[in-house]
Structure 1
Amino acid sequence: MKFFFPDSQDQVDPGFHFVTEERDPFRVRQRDDQYAHEVLTQAPFDGLLVSKAIVDGTAAGTGKYTVAQRHRLYREGARRFFRLDHGHTPLEIMGDCGAFSYVTEEYPPYSVDEVIDFYDGCGFHYGIAVDHVIFQYEPKTTRDDKRAEEWVRRQDITLDLAEKFWQRCKARRVSFAPLGVAQGWSPQSYADAVKTLQDIGYQRIALGGMVPLKTPEILACLAAIDQVRDHDTTRFHLLGVSRCDEVRTFADYGVTSFDSTSPFRQAFKDDRDNYYTPTGTYVALRVPQVDGNAKLKARIRSGEISQNRALELERTALTRLRQYDADEIDIDPVVHALDEYSAVWDGKSDRSSQYRATLADRPWRACACDLCKTIGIEIVIFRGSERNKRRGFHNLYVFEQRLRAQQGRTPCDQDPT
């Protein structure tokens, strides 16, 4: 089972100073900042998923790449742009259109040939056909039901574009392996889409629109698909779905790869599951910057609290965290400092018991990843992108370790795909 991490230009500055929070004044982000596969000795994924919508944007909005970055990617190709040879593990690149970014549009904004130009021009290993996502899940609704009219329209668009994509890939003799996309709203509709894609000629098929589905619903769809799939040749990629505990079951249904940002995003988006361990999660220790927290800045502007007092509480919390990591103080003054500062910048959530659990267990000391070994307690401090993204990279590392454990693999094993 291969794990692809969706690219969103998430990098960290290797020269960032955690105490002074200063950067090298001559730093150039594209040249100097590092991807997860460069920071960690063992890459925490098998490849990257790069969306055309992230790179080029759509009519509804710009992507996350600057004009200079976009031109560089097209000019240099993905292998050089993402510095795939700079890491310690060979990586692959998969491309898709980023259907979530144009879900509200009547029709996908890219032509088949534009997408092929993107995949082939950047040197991707795999390329996913243009699709139109379906979010609804109604297992008992058939194609003839009026409620399914829009879902049927989107599925038909996706299948029509998949056929055109297949024919153009053959005619252009592309260098990447093409994947068709199955979109559906029920187990039967997914099975129907897979059957059509196999009839077109696809042996690799991406299953889309499953992000909102619960695990039993995903398994129900895979079971229905299993009734029509060619067990000898057809392999599936799950778009945006990560269910580490189910990888063996997924594999039994022909799933050989998936992509997800969940382990990374939980580092700074989740309310409590911010730091992964092999057996669970911990909450990160929130110490936001005084000048970077909107709620706190509003209280300062209103005169409710002085800026000097806020800065003092912020500095005290950081100092005590570092003293604790150096075994200079015990846990109580650290939790007290965090609570005092939290009352100023938050005033609603009481995380003291969760903070105490994180501090008492010191999970960063037991972690073998390069980041935890290098920056210590800074990895669990919820504060700014440099710490938060590093914690996200750590989560990817742990997630990949869990994935290996589920499959009975070691770091040296090769994927069967």
Structure 2
Amino acid sequence: MRFFFPDSQDQVDPGFDFLTEERDPYRVRQRDDLYAHEVLDPPPFHGLLVSKAIVDGRSDGSAGKYSTPQRHRLYREGAERFFRLDHASGPLKIMGDCGAFSYVNDVYPPYTVDEVIDFYDGCGFDYGIAVDHVIFQYEPQTNRDDERATEWVRRQDITLTLANDFWKRCNDRRVTFEPLGVAQGWSPQSYADSVSTLQRIGYRRIAMGGMVPLKTREILACLRAVDDVRDNGTQLHLLGISRCDDIPTFASHGVTSFDSTSPFRQAFKDDRDNYYTANSTYVALRVPQVEGNVKLRKRISSGEIDQKRALTLERSALRLLREYDAGTASLEDTLQALQDYSDVWDGKTDRGDAYRRTLHDRPWRDCQCEICRALGIQIIVFRGTERNKRRGFHNLYVFRQRLRAQLGEDQT
């Protein structure tokens, strides 16, 4: 089972000073900042998933997340050198896709087959996913002839037609990457029909798309239907699905790889499950920056919050957290400092019990990852990109450990 982490230019600055919160003035982000596979050894995933929509944007002018110099350098140097995969302790693979979520509301995908092949081959990817058009509805009892399925059928037909063109052009152009077709559907039977068609075209790796909103039981229903038509040599990839506890079951239905940003994004997008451990999760301790938090700045500008008081409480909370980690401050005093500052910047959400559990258990002290060992309590402070992304990297590390445990792999 292989886990691919979707790239979105998520890096951390190794020279960031957590006490002064300053950076080296000579820092160059792309040169000096580190990817998760450079910070953690071994890497917390088997490969990267790189989207054309993220790198190139769209022909309608919508920008991706890469600057023009970054795009040019990726094409010029190739993915292996650009992402510095040679720094990892094990070989990492690169999978490319189109980023169908970015054009889900379009009538037709914005990329041609040859444009996508140019992207995959030009960047030196190992795998390339055909152009697809995502279907988000799930109606297991609806067949192709039902009027409600008209748009779903249209999108499925577009995806399969493009998959056929993609396969032919890959063969004609003798590409260096392995092509994957995409199965889109709205029911177990429609997914099975897609897989059957893709196998007839020639695909032996097939990505299952549009399943992110589905419940696990619905995904399994689709995989069981696919079992009836899937050839023994056909391998499945789950797009955007993690669900670590279910991975062994997915594997029994021919799934050999998946991709997800969930472990990383939960570090700073989730209300509660911000910090992973082997058997649990913890809420991160929120200490937003007075100067860096947009909502807080607006409330200060409007006169709703006194800036001087906010700064004093912010600094007090950070100081008490450091002292608590060093054993010179009590849990109660630290908790009170967090609450006093929270009353100013939030005043609505009571996280007292969750904070108490986090502070009492000190989960960062039991973690063996390089990040927790280096940062201590700073890893669990919800504040700014440098702490939040490092916590995301930690979550990837724990997720990989959980995955290995689920699959019965050697942890040494």
Q: Note the 1:103-118 alignment, pairs <5 A.
A: 103-118=104-119
1:54-77 deviation per Cα after TM superposition (whole angstroms, max 9, x unaligned): 000012611000000000000000
* Cα displacement (A) at 1:350: 0.5
Root-mean-square deviation (Å): 0.8
Tell me the residue number matched to 2:246: 246
1:5–1:47 Cα contact (<8 Å) kept? yes
Residues 190-241 of structure 1, C-alpha deviation per residue, up to 9 Å, x if partnerless?
000000000111000000000000100000000101111002x100000000
SS of the aligned residue for 1:393 comes to helix
TM-superposed CA distance for 1:300, in Å, is: 1.6
Q: What letter is aligned with 1:308?
A: K
Amino acid at match of 2:9: Q
**CA separation in 1, counterparts of 2:88 and 2:386?**
20
| 1:89 CA displacement | 2.2
Please state how far the C-alpha of 1:19 moved relative to its aligned partner.
Answer: 0.5
> Contact between 1:5 and 1:49, CA under 8 Å: does it hold in 2?
yes
Deviation at 1:160, TM superposition (A): 0.2
Check conservation: 1:293, 1:345, Cα contact below 8 A.
no
Residue 249 of structure 1 aligns to which amino acid in structure 2? T
> Residue 375 in 1 paired to residue 375 in 2?
yes
Q: Can you give the 5+ residue segments of structure 1 that lack an aligned partner in the other structure? A: 413-417
Q: State the secondary structure of the residue aligned to 2:137.
A: coil
d(CA) in 2 for partners of 1:237, 1:302: 50
Once the 2 structures are TM-superposed, how far is the Cα of residue 298 of structure 1 from its aligned partner?
Answer: 2.7
**Aligned: 1:356 with 2:356:** yes
Matched, 1:102 2:107: no
Q: Which residue of 2 aligns with 1:143?
A: 144
1:314 maps to which residue? 314
Instruction: Give the deviation of 1:329 after TM superposition.
Output: 1.3
In the other structure, the counterpart of 1:152 is 153
1:18-417 correspondence to structure 2 within 5 Å: 18-58=18-58, 59=60, 61-231=62-232, 233-411=233-411
Deviations 1:243-294 (A, max 9, x none): 1011111111000000000000000000000000000100000000002223
Check whether the contact 1:295–1:346 (CA below 8 A) recurs between aligned residues. Answer: no
Aligned-partner Cα distance in 2 for 1:300–1:256: 52
Deviations 1:86-129, CA, capped at 9 Å, x for gaps: 12221000000000001111111111111111111111010000
Count of matched residue positions in the alignment of Structure 1 and Structure 2? 411
Is the CA contact (8 Å cut-off) linking 2:405 and 2:411 kept in structure 1? no
Aligned partner of 1:314: which letter? E
- Segments of structure 2 that go 5 or more residues without pairing to the other structure are none
Q: 2-side partners of 1:302 and 1:142: how far apart? A: 56
Q: Which residue identity does 2:131 align to in structure 1?
A: V
What is the CA deviation profile of residues 140-160 of structure 1, one whole-angstrom value per residue up to 9, with x for unaligned ones?
Answer: 110000110000000000000
Q: CA deviation at 1:301?
A: 1.8
**8 Å contact kept, 1:237–1:256:** yes
Sequence identity (%): 73
Distance in 2 of aligned mates of 1:169 and 1:406: 36
Please state how far the C-alpha of 1:360 moved relative to its aligned partner.
0.4
| C-alpha deviation, 1:330, in angstroms | 1.4
Other structure's SS at 1:240 match: coil
Q: SS where residue 237 of structure 2 aligns?
A: strand
Amino acid at match of 1:364: W
Matches of 1:173 and 1:299, distance apart in 2: 59
For residue 172 of structure 2, give the secondary structure of its aligned residue in structure 1: helix
What TM-score does the superposition give when structure 2 sets the normalisation length?
Answer: 0.99
Instruction: Tell me the distance in 2 between the aligned counterparts of 1:251 and 1:362.
Output: 35
Aligned 8 A contact 1:182 1:205 in 2? yes
Q: 1:410 offset after TM fit, Å? A: 2.0
Q: Are the equivalent residues in 2 in contact too, given 1:36–1:393 (CA < 8 A)?
A: yes
Shift of 1:411: 4.8
| In 1, Cα distance between equivalents of 2:411 and 2:159 | 37
Q: Distance in 2 between matches of 1:277 and 1:319?
A: 25
**Match of 1:105, as an amino acid?**
D
TM-score, reference length from structure 1: 0.98
> Secondary structure, in 3 states, of the residue corresponding to 2:221?
helix
